[in-house]
């Protein structure tokens, strides 16, 4: 009865997981098979999952792949990547293979400084209030550091205070930034508790009212810079180098293209972020805000040609990642991913992720500037369609091969081929 369907369910979060799942199954008319599928937690303990987020009714698995060939700062890495998009992992491996000369990709991350923002409103003289805040910087830093003595013992903690008067549609406001060295954590939690702690002090110094107290995801004090030289013969000759430079120049001049260019970088960055259970939304937000920091959205990477006609690339972007705290500590698979990576700090993780972003970007530009990306994509897409159409074993590749060579890649054709070819097989048997 349609009228009985309601999503208003009091205390849904308090009900046992099985009951929540039953309610959802009833609401959506799930079959027993679908319920079983959702209840398969794979490598995530249901007890861990239910502590991570609210209203859990199941879990969902993604492929966990490893990109090989990465040589970064003279050290070899196997890079775990969790992603649903075909070609990304293969492209990363191919690019990394061409980037192994001269010690591989170079990558350096800054100190792990995050910014916490404190918004002060209701000020009659915000410029004067700013001066008062800056005068009492040390006191604010000490108050913030009361919250996290362990962070301070590890060499981290609040390090500096900045303040600026911001003109807004609701009049001028004073914005105070607390700069916090978060060491190996992503740091949002540490920063948020610190800005909450110092807010009353800021109110008493300024005479204003503190409204928001929250980390900024434009983590422009926590940058990674990665750079690499790819020799022209490995790129495919100087013509391909020039084509890649033209592809980059297009992105540099056009935000429509820059968005896609940066998406390609984020394919690599986010895949590693997912494998290591980072807050990938924070990384994405930081990346795109940084790309637009001059008032116009630009590519995060720059590609140039050296005196020998080789391709040289640089990537710079915020990289707020952690190896302790959050899901990086609690998700058992993230722990394994970090072990595969073998990184010893959040700084090193950021360096690897910058290098992967740069390699991914190179792979996309090279493909786009030469054969286009569809050929590789289509091969994988065709395999997926073949499997969806019921092909197994050798049949997957045979069906995919036919669809690609005929340029007819569709589910209906895959189904037709599967029926035809498995019929042949049975006939033969």
| Minimum distance of ligand MEV from residue 240's CB (angstroms) | 15
Closest to ligand MEV by CB, 230 vs 346, is: 230
Report, in Å, the least distance between residue 266 CB and ligand MEV.
9
The one catalytic residue in 305, 377, 381, 415 is: 377
End-to-end alpha-carbon separation of the chain, Å? 50
Based on the residue annotation, tell me whether 279 is a catalytic residue of this protein. Answer: yes
Q: Smallest gap, in angstroms, from Cβ of residue 268 to ligand MEV?
A: 10
Q: Work out how close the CB of 102 gets to ligand MEV at its nearest, in angstroms, rounded to a whole number.
A: 25
| 121 is an interface residue for ligand MEV by CB under 6 A | no
If you count them, how many residues does the chain have? 429
**Beta carbons within 8 Å of 6's beta carbon, 6+ residues apart:** none
> 225-235 burial string, b = 16+ CB within 10 Å, else e?
bbbbbbbbebb
Q: Which bin fits 87, alpha (ψ -120 to 50), beta or left (φ > 0)?
A: left
Minimum CB distance to ligand MEV, residue 368 (Å)? 6
Q: Nearer Cβ to ligand MEV, position 109 or 363? A: 363
Q: Please report how close the Cβ of residue 176 comes to ligand MEV at its closest, in angstroms.
A: 39
Q: Which residue in 263, 305, 381, 415 is the catalytic one?
A: 263
The Cα–Cα gap between 123 and 74 comes to 53
Closer Cβ to ligand MEV, 174 or 269, answer by number? 269
- The set of residues, in sequence order, having a beta carbon less than 8 Å from that of 133 and lying 6+ positions away, is 140, 161, 163, 174, 176, 202, 205, 206
Dump the DSSP string for 150-198: HHHHTT-EEEEEEEEEEEETTEEEEEEEEEEE-TTB--HHHHHHHHHHH
Confirm whether 32 is a catalytic residue. no
> From the CA atom positions of the chain, what is the Rg in Å?
26
388 φ/ψ sector (left φ>0, alpha ψ -120 to 50, else beta): alpha
Q: Which of 82, 300, 364, 400 binds ligand MEV (CB under 6 A)?
A: 364
Whether 261 sits among the annotated catalytic residues: the reply is no
Residue nearest to ligand MEV (CB): 264
From residue 248 to residue 287, the character string flagging contacts with ligand MEV as x (rule: CB under 6 A) and all else as - is ------------xx-xx--x--------------------
Beta bridge partners of residue 304, listed in sequence order: 312
- Candidate list 181, 184, 279, 351, residue with the active-site label: 279
Contact yes or no for 284/357 (Cβ under 8 A): no
Least distance in angstroms from the C-beta of 85 to ligand MEV: 6
Closest CB to ligand MEV among residues 230, 402: 230
- Kindly determine how many residues on this chain lie close enough to bind ligand MEV according to the rule CB under 6 A: 10
One character per residue 372-391, x = contact with ligand MEV (rule: CB under 6 A)? -x------------------
Active site residue 26: no
d(CA 21, CA 38) in angstroms, rounded, equals 9
C-alpha angle 94/98/102, rounded to 5°?
145
- 8 Å CB contact between 181 and 148: no
3-state class (DSSP) for residue 72: strand
**Residue 81 lies near ligand MEV (rule: CB under 6 A):** no
Please tell me the distance from the alpha carbon of residue 240 to that of residue 376, in angstroms, as a whole number. Answer: 18
Q: What gap in Å lies between CA 386 and CA 403, rounded to an integer?
A: 9
Binding site for ligand MEV (CB under 6 A): 85, 260-261, 263-264, 267, 364-365, 368, 373
Catalytic residues: 85, 263, 279, 377
């Amino acid at each position: 009865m349609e009228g009985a369907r309601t999503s208003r369910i009091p205390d849904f979060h308090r009900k046992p997981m099985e009951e929540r799942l039953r309610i959802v199954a009833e609401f959506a008319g799930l079959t027993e098979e679908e319920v079983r599928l959702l209840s398969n937690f794979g490598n995530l303990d249901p007890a861990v999952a239910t502590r991570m987020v609210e209203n859990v009714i199941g879990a969902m698995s993604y492929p966990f792949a490893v990109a090989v060939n990465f040589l970064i700062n003279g050290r070899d890495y196997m890079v775990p990547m969790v992603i649903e998009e075909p070609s990304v992992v293969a492209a990363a491996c191919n690019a990394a293979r061409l980037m192994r000369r001269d010690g591989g990709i170079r990558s350096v991350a800054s100190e792990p400084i995050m910014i916490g923002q404190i918004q002060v409103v209701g000020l009659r003289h915000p410029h004067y209030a700013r001066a008062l805040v800056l005068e009492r910087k040390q006191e604010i830093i000490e108050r913030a550091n009361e919250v996290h003595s362990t962070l301070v013992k590890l060499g981290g903690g609040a390090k500096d205070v900045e303040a600026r008067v911001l003109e807004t549609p609701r009049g001028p406001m004073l914005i105070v930034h607390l700069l916090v060295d978060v060491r190996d954590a992503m740091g949002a939690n540490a920063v948020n508790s610190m800005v909450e702690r110092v807010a009353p002090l800021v109110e008493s110094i300024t005479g204003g009212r503190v409204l928001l107290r929250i980390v900024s995801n434009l983590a422009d004090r926590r940058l990674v810079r990665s750079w690499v030289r790819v020799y022209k013969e490995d790129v495919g000759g100087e013509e391909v180098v020039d084509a890649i430079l033209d592809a980059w120049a297009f992105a540099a001049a056009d935000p429509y293209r820059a968005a896609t260019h940066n998406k390609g970088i984020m394919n690599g960055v986010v895949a590693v972020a997912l494998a290591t259970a980072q807050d990938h939304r924070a990384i994405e937000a930081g990346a795109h805000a940084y790309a637009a920091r001059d008032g116009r959205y630009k590519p995060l990477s720059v590609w140039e040609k050296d005196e020998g006609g080789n391709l040289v690339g640089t990537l710079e972007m915020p990289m707020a990642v952690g190896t302790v705290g959050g899901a990086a500590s609690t998700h058992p698979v993230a722990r394994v991913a970090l072990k595969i990576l073998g990184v010893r700090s959040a700084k090193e993780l950021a360096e690897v992720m910058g290098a992967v972003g740069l390699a991914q970007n190179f792979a996309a530009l090279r493909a786009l500037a030469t054969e286009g990306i569809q050929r590789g994509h289509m091969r994988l897409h065709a395999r997926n369609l073949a499997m969806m159409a019921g092909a197994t074993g050798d049949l997957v590749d045979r069906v995919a091969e036919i669809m690609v060579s005929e340029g007819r890649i569709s589910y209906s054709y895959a189904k037709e081929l599967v029926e035809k070819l498995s019929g042949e097989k049975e006939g033969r048997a």
